Structure 1
């Protein structure tokens, strides 16, 4: 894919400079991979501070009220802050080949065009027109139940969460959790400590796993373990919009 379609800003250059062959190998093998650093501590602090500007968000979700866990998150409006929009645009073309490869292995449609804006327009045309970019805030005792960010039929199979605070300094606990339901076997779990400024690429819903019959679907879910102390912020980049 030609480099001319990739954004050229500072953050985009950090995303482009990752070892994408190695990341792709990890994503294929485990359904997730840690990239970074892609943001400086100052950039992380600037993004986490946006949480206190309610005008930037379309809605706030109290997780305990909805029995999603404990803590709070906010969905941005479509008028994304520049650095958030740049990150999302930078990741999409890098993840697109993986998405298409997974679809081919599972003999599924691969509706995703080369351009993110065109794909989002397709989501809107199908009735998924709400921004799904998330800024999350956890305090001591907060956690996020295992779930999948599926908002309709228009789905991109990978997403990214970016750590905005420093584990061990700003907070303790709060590991990023994933479970994989393996075909005809017990589930496999993983826990990742998300470093500040790093992005974890992970499976949105399902991933292909090799089987005796070719390729099988392995459903995956993600969540966050209990934060023991301090405050933890993360940025969630989702590549489809919500209904």
Structure 2
């Protein structure tokens, strides 16, 4: 591991993971301030034009996903993205296992990310899912869930690479939580450049009067009012 990735791994290890788990349990999402430096964010944004780094490009409007576009990285992943995938996952796997136990879901996740990826690949999920998204004025991302196959890791992260107020306005990260027999709850997450939001992909456990039940979550991005916005998304399972 080179110096850059050693430094990034240290940042990940020094996150207050207990506080983060408390926020995930209470709200379905949690933020990490300055997970990436401005230089790391600018490096990832500048790589968007290098098509050789990506396995595919998706124009959202063609599929009814919203407006804007995104590209899935190919293997090998950029060092920053690969390091995040490998070092964040071990902190989230225990949370994911506790959630599944509470919700009566049989799936359990190994402690090491490489072991989980081997499980995905053995099931035919071999395509990398980390991605970078690009929005321009008027673009938005419809509420959705990133589910790509049988083996789905239930938590993921997104990192804002652009500077709010300078590079763009609008474009807030949004989550909705659909609760049984109740109105849906919305969560708007303000981020600065380099900040990460860690959030539930599909559902999470909530304590109710009759015990634990599942709530369904979706995430998206509100309409950009001005400028351009880049975001990196780190999904821990691979796709079919």
Question: What is the Cα deviation at residue 242 of structure 1?
Answer: 0.8
Which of these residues, 42, 46, 53, is aligned with residue 43 of structure 2? 46
Structure 2 gap ranges (5+): none
1:64 is paired with a residue whose SS is helix
Q: How does 1:54-203 map to 2 (within 5 A)?
A: 54-203=51-200
* Alpha-carbon distance, 1:135 to partner: 0.5
Which residue of structure 2 lines up, in the alignment, with residue 5 of structure 1? Answer: none
The alpha-carbon deviation at position 156 of structure 1 amounts to 0.4
Cα shift at 1:108: 1.2
- 2:25 aligns to what SS in structure 1? helix
Give structure 1 stretches of 5+ with no counterpart. 1-7
Cα distance, 1:36 vs structure 2? 2.1
CA–CA distance in structure 2, aligned partners of residues 113 and 214 of structure 1: 27
Q: CA deviation at 1:195?
A: 1.2
Name segments (4+ residues, structure 1) moved above 4 Å: none
Cα deviation for residue 57 of structure 1 reads 0.2
Give the structure 2 partner of residue 18 of structure 1: 15
SS at the partner of 1:233?
A: strand
- Superposed CA RMSD in Å reads 1.2
- 1:27 maps onto 2:24 in alignment: yes
Contact kept? 1:18, 1:36, Cα under 8 Å: no
- Cα pair 1:167 1:193 within 8 Å, conserved: no
Alignment counterpart, residue 227 of structure 1, candidates 219, 224, 229:
224
Over residues 150-197 of structure 1, what are the superposed CA-to-partner deviations in whole Å (9 max), with x where a residue is unaligned? 011101010000010111111100000100001210100011122110
| TM-score normalized by the length of structure 1 | 0.95
Deviation at 1:89, TM superposition (A): 0.9
Q: Distance in 1 between matches of 2:50 and 2:211?
A: 49
The separation in 2 between residues aligned to 1:213 and 1:122, in whole angstroms, is 35
Match of 2:203 among 180, 203, 206: 206
Equivalent-residue separation in structure 2 for 1:115 and 1:20 (angstroms): 17
- What's the offset of the Cα at 1:19? 1.1
Decide whether the 8 Å contact of 2:100 with 2:108 is kept in 1.
no
SS at match of 2:84: helix
- Distance in 2 (alpha carbons) for counterparts of 1:34 and 1:23: 7
CA distance in 2, matches of 1:122, 1:19: 29
Which whole-Å CA distance do the structure 2 matches of 1:193 and 1:222 have between them?
A: 14
